[in-house]
Structure 1
Amino acid sequence: MLTTERLLLRPWRVDEAAIQRELWTERDPRVPPHRRIDAAGHPTVADLEDAIRRSRPSSTGLLAIERTATHDVVGYCGLVRTERFPADEPELAYELLRRAWGHGYATEASWAVLGWARASGYERLWATVRDWNTASRRVLAKVGFTETGRTEPDPVHGTTLFFDRPLQSIRR
């Protein structure tokens, strides 16, 4: 668990699967289909409950973002491993419910994850974002990520931009 002035980042609880599904339903239509609800309605709340049950603690994973004042979960933030990056250089990921946008929660949660990552021995983190997602690009800039110049063009869903962040010094 990680704490900030306003947030608690912690493992997801099975009874919060509906919040995860709400995140899926709110995604921009430009997000690739594998990250949206499909024609058959998957993932369902039951699918997401099963995924939460199967998850195991590790040095990577997406933590629920709980607002400490209201005890409601408004999204996630954490580290994920992908084939795009070396195993010892995971990717920062975050997503918030629309009702939580504009309050600085993604930035605050990201700082907590960056601090934890540095303390855990990670030396570099990566992030990817679609070129049209200016809000996420602003969050990455606020927490010290820089654009690498690497891109993956996608005329349908938007070009993926690559960012990185050395963790030698974490300063706000």
Structure 2
Amino acid sequence: MFIRSERLFLRPGWAEDWQDLLATIADETVVRNLAHVPWPYGAQDAQAFVAKPQDHLLPRFLVTLPGPDGARLIGGCGISLLDGEVNLGYWIARGEWGQGYATEAARAVLGLAHALGHHRVVAHHFVDNAASGRVLEKVGFRRTGRVAERFSQGRGFASPSREYEVRFESDGDCDGDDAMNRRRAA
């Protein structure tokens, strides 16, 4: 499965991507904001990530930025199950922060989640990462009011995490309708 957004190309990870993935995510500043990525992040972690089989209902993507010399890996975005709920997760390399790439990738994956028939998607961010909360709000998420301690492999300890959700009013479709217009807060 592939997604093309305005500036980005989202695609599955391939075995040969492990070195680019390692070079892009092996930054403690990035990893400390993620719950399920260990620090330090090593070659075996990158190889294991790209070797994981894809789930067509819970796809995950490498986020690439096409350019004249090919597409450059700048992050990751996808959906997974977390405590039985569909969960959106994303990360962008530190050198690419502040350019709207996280928002663009999250919006694209959220549109796919709706098209796949998911009715509710949750997302979380550690409270000391307010930028991630702004990304979630830009793509249609609303705070649920829940803040809970979540363990971060990158931090090595639990930290307060704010929960967000988005609900889709209608079933997903692939006919080009703007999924953003069909989202509502719970």
Match of 1:66 in 2: 64
Q: 1: CA distance between counterparts of 2:159 and 2:52? A: 32
Unaligned regions of 5+ residues in structure 2, if any? 151-156, 170-178
Greater fraction of residues in strand:
2
Counterpart in the other structure of 1:140: 136
Q: Which moved more, 1:125-134 or 1:26-35?
A: 26-35
* TM-superposed deviation, 1:27: 3.1
Cα distance in 2 between the residues matched to 1:109 and 1:33: 19
Are 2:75 and 2:93, in contact at CA under 8 Å, matched by a contact in 1? yes
Question: More displaced, 57-66 or 2-11?
Answer: 57-66
Once the 2 structures are TM-superposed, how far is the Cα of residue 153 of structure 1 from its aligned partner? 3.5
1:79 equivalent to 2:86? Answer no
Partner residue in 1 for 2:7: 6
- Judging changes above 3 Å, is the alpha-carbon distance between structure 1 residues 32 and 117 closer, same or farther for their aligned structure 2 residues? closer
Matches within 5 A, 1:121-136: 121-136=117-132
Contact 2:24–2:73 (CA under 8 A) maintained in structure 1: no
Partner of 2:110: 114
Matched residue type, 2:72: D
AA paired with 2:53?
S
Aligned counterparts of 1:141 and 1:31: Cα–Cα separation in 2? 17
What CA distance in whole angstroms lies between the structure 2 residues aligned with 1:124 and 1:33? 20
**CA offsets 1:103-131 (integer angstroms, 9 cap, x no match):** 10111111111111111111110001100
TM-score using structure 1 length: 0.82
- Residue identity over aligned pairs, in percent, reads 28
Q: Distance in 2 between matches of 1:94 and 1:47?
A: 17
* 1:99–1:56 Cα change, 3 Å: same
Counterpart amino acid of residue 27 in structure 1: E
Q: What do residues 73-124 of structure 1 show as CA deviations (whole Å, max 9, x unaligned)? A: 10011101112x43xxx10100011011111011111111111111111111
Which structure 1 segments of 5+ residues have no match? none
**Normalised TM-score (structure 2):** 0.77
Matched, 1:97 2:82: no
- Indicate the SS of the match to 2:159: coil
Instruction: Please report how far the alpha carbon of residue 23 of structure 1 lies from its aligned counterpart in structure 2 after TM superposition.
Output: 4.8
Distance 1:82 1:23, change over 3 A: farther
Q: Distance in 2 between matches of 1:115 and 1:33?
A: 23
